[in-house]
């Protein structure tokens, strides 16, 4: 299918006709010879002398070529385009940031697997989170890991395989032994600043209490709420432990409540899997469908045709003039030859 991007420019088509109709013709004075016997010649011829003018007559071929060239130039200005078949693209309608605690306490081997064996907390979290990420195909996700400080492992991206791979390479203690919940939330807020999508979800997982943040987690949650960030907080670990190893469920619950999110507690790998299933149900994958038709400009075709027609016409007129010039002197010589 072919369409015009600027069809209103076709109104220029009658412009030459309007110029020819309403603009006065061009006049130019030229030098002339004065004959002393000019009056006698006119009397013999029986004509009355008056101011004269020469109107050049354009060959019909040149007129037709000029009309075609003008039409093609106007058509090119109207930008003809070939429309391709509709292309439908799905893009994420929500951005998700995963913030995973990798402090020293995540090395504790008290996380029960479905088969009854106990494994490292971070290992169990990695398996469940990797499954969750793989099921969010089409979403944009980012990965933050935090301990004594928070670090952005992957910015918002559609490449979920990279998120899974980076999470698999993460080890306990890489970000320090302590827990900085507030800093992790602050880094998530800065990560969302690069997003133009209004729906923003932060999934925060921790097994300890905040001991290293420069900003209070509650204050960070207030800022997140103002920026439209919804926090789902997940607590793992032992709430009865002492010191930094005790998971601060009260703070995590407060963080979720202030942003309109939800709080979950997972004692083992199965419970954590159920938590992520519930999060998936609360915040299902949302996509926006964008449809467009690729366009291919054809303006160059009209310009090329105008160039070919114009060049061909000028070349033909030039050759015709040269032929007439060569034939005319011969005719004069024939006329002047003695009989």
In this predicted model, what pLDDT tens digit does every residue of 138-177 receive, in sequence order?
678 899 999 999 999 999 988 889 999 999 999 998 888 8
Contact 309, 73 (CB under 8 A): no
286 has a pLDDT exceeding 70: no
Q: Give the pLDDT score at 290.
A: 65
Confidence at residue 209, expressed as pLDDT on a 0 to 100 scale: 82
For residues 153 and 218, membership in a common domain is answered with: yes
Would the pTM count as exceeding 0.75?
no
Distance CA 325, CA 118 (A): 106
**pLDDT at position 92:** 63
In terms of domains, do 77 and 145 share one? Answer: no
Decide: 170 and 205 in contact? Cβ < 8 Å.
Answer: no
- Note whether 156 and 187 are same-domain residues: yes
Q: Are residues 64 and 209 in the same domain?
A: no
Give pLDDT, residue 337. 43
In a domain? residue 183: yes
Edge-to-edge strands, sheet with 140-146? 150-157, 140-146, 94-101, 199-206, 229-236, 263-266
21 part of a folded domain: no
Which DSSP letter does residue 198 get?
S
Question: Which pLDDT value is given to residue 246?
Answer: 78
The answer as to whether 128 is a domain residue is yes
Name the DSSP letter for residue 57.
P
Question: 63 and 158: one domain?
Answer: no
Is residue 331 very low, low, confident or very high in pLDDT (cuts 50, 70, 90)?
very low
Whether 34 maps to a domain, the answer reads no
224 shares a domain with 190: yes
Return the CATH number at 249: 3.40.50.410
Has residue 102 been placed in a domain?
Answer: yes
Q: What is the model's pLDDT at position 335?
A: 41
| 150 and 243 together in one domain | yes
Same domain, 117 and 248: yes
DSSP string covering 72-93: HHHHHHT-EEEE---EEEEEES
| pLDDT tens for each residue of 31-82 | 767 777 777 777 777 777 666 555 566 778 888 888 999 999 999 999 888 8
Task: Give 339 or 96, the one with higher predicted confidence.
Answer: 96
Domain count, the chain: 2
| Nearest residue to 73 (alpha-carbon basis) of 18, 17, 10, 19 | 10
pLDDT at residue 317 in the model: 84
In a domain, 333, yes or no: no
Of residues 134, 116, 105, 138, the one with CA closest to residue 205: 105
As a whole number of angstroms, the distance between CA 194 and CA 105 comes to 32
Question: Is 253 among the domain residues?
Answer: yes
Q: Which domain holds residue 68?
A: 1-13+59-85+295-309
169 vs 339, higher pLDDT: 169
Residues 195 and 77 in one domain: no
Residue 329 is predicted with a pLDDT of 54
- Answer yes or no: is 35 within a domain: no
Q: How far apart are CA 288 and CA 88, in angstroms?
A: 10
253 and 152 within one domain: yes
Crossing angle of helices 60-77 and 299-336, rounded to 10°: 170
Residues 134 and 77 in one domain: no
Identify the weakest region by mean pLDDT among 139-148, 250-259, 330-339.
330-339
Same structural domain, 272 and 133: yes
State residue 220's pLDDT score: 92
């Amino acid at each position: 299918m072919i369409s015009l991007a600027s069809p209103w420019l076709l109104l220029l088509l009658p412009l030459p006709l309007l110029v020819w109709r309403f603009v006065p013709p061009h006049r130019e004075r030229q030098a002339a010879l004065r004959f002393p016997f000019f009056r006698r010649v006119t009397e013999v011829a029986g004509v009355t002398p008056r101011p004269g003018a020469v109107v050049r007559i354009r060959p019909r071929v040149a007129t037709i070529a000029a009309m075609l060239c003008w039409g093609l130039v106007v058509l090119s200005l109207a930008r003809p385009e070939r429309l391709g078949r509709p292309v439908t693209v799905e893009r994420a309608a929500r951005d998700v940031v995963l913030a995973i605690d990798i402090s020293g306490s995540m090395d504790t081997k008290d996380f029960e697997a479905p088969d009854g064996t106990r494994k490292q907390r971070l290992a169990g979290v990695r398996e469940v989170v990797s499954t969750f990420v793989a099921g969010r195909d089409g979403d944009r996700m980012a990965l933050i890991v935090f301990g004594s400080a928070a670090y952005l492992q992957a910015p918002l991206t559609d490449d979920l395989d990279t998120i899974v791979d980076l999470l698999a390479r993460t080890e306990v203690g890489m970000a320090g032994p302590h827990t900085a919940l507030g800093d992790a939330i602050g880094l998530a807020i800065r990560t969302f600043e690069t997003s133009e999508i209004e729906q923003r979800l932060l999934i925060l997982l921790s097994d300890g209490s905040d001991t290293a943040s420069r900003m209070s987690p509650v204050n960070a949650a207030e800022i997140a709420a103002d920026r439209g960030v919804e926090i789902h907080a997940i607590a793992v670990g032992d709430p009865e432990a002492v010191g930094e190893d005790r998971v601060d469920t009260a703070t995590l619950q407060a963080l979720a409540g202030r942003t309109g999110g939800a709080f979950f507690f997972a004692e083992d790998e199965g419970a954590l899997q159920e938590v992520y299933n519930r999060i998936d149900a609360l915040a299902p994958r949302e996509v926006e469908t964008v449809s467009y038709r690729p366009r291919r400009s054809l303006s160059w075709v009209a310009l090329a045709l105008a160039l070919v027609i114009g060049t061909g016409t000028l070349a033909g007129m030039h050759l015709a003039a040269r032929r007439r010039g060569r034939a005319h002197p011969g005719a004069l010589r024939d006329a002047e030859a003695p009989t």
